[in-house]
Structure 1
Amino acid sequence: MGVTRIVPDLPVADVARAGETYRRLFDLEVGMDLGWVANLGPADAPAVQLQVMATDASAHSRPTLSIGMATAAEVDEVHDRAVAAGLEIVHPLTDEPWGVHRFFFRDHDGNVVKVVAHR
């Protein structure tokens, strides 16, 4: 299975303000900014990432962790495992207009985890 990244999703009230704060404090670059979520990291260490998120554009739940997979098929496989484990699916398998395939589940401690792959 190809896990490509594991990224914390920091809940914030203002994505632009939070992104600017973390960018300046830690000399990070903004890799992606959709207005409601931004991804930051150092230029010389692309595996190190932080996401700041005010809300989610299409899901009712905001994840606390994003786990990136190499392929959409692997996202589907993890989805099947989560269902088989009896975990609550809080956002169904979805192909999002911004180019990702994803779903969210709630773990046994109440954390919402996003599993995602770029399409």
Structure 2
Amino acid sequence: MTFTIHASFLPHTDPEASLAFYRDALGFEVRNDVGYNGLRWLTVGPVDQPGTSIVLYPPGADPGVTEAERQTITEMMAKGTFASLVLASADVDAAFEKLQAGDTEVVQEPTDQPYGVRDFAIRDPAGNMIRVQQVG
């Protein structure tokens, strides 16, 4: 049996800021943009990987989440500890320079990690931690 990653979910707090980040800064294509009851779900992904997507969702949309849980989620998102994503680039330093030239929040500049990868860390507009690792 073989599995592939089809979609992963990250919360967003501002759909327009998320679009600007994922589409304009990262270069992902927008695959779906769905509104329902005043909320918005965005599906984005790398142009050359049509089978892999990130669904950006409003964190308060799940009816099973209590108000106290929503508050905890909001607090964790603000600290960058609720959700994360690891991306890969053939040239981490060039990717960093491009993102740093915009208004992307930098958490860590490109670093050779003791566990054997070179990467950097940024945050998306909702506070989600994104690490970009060197591959190839």
TM range (shorter): 0.3 to 0.5
Q: Say which structure is richer in strand.
A: 1
Q: Which has the larger radius of gyration?
A: 2
Task: Normalising by structure 1, report the TM-score.
Answer: 0.42
Task: Normalising by structure 2, report the TM-score.
Answer: 0.38
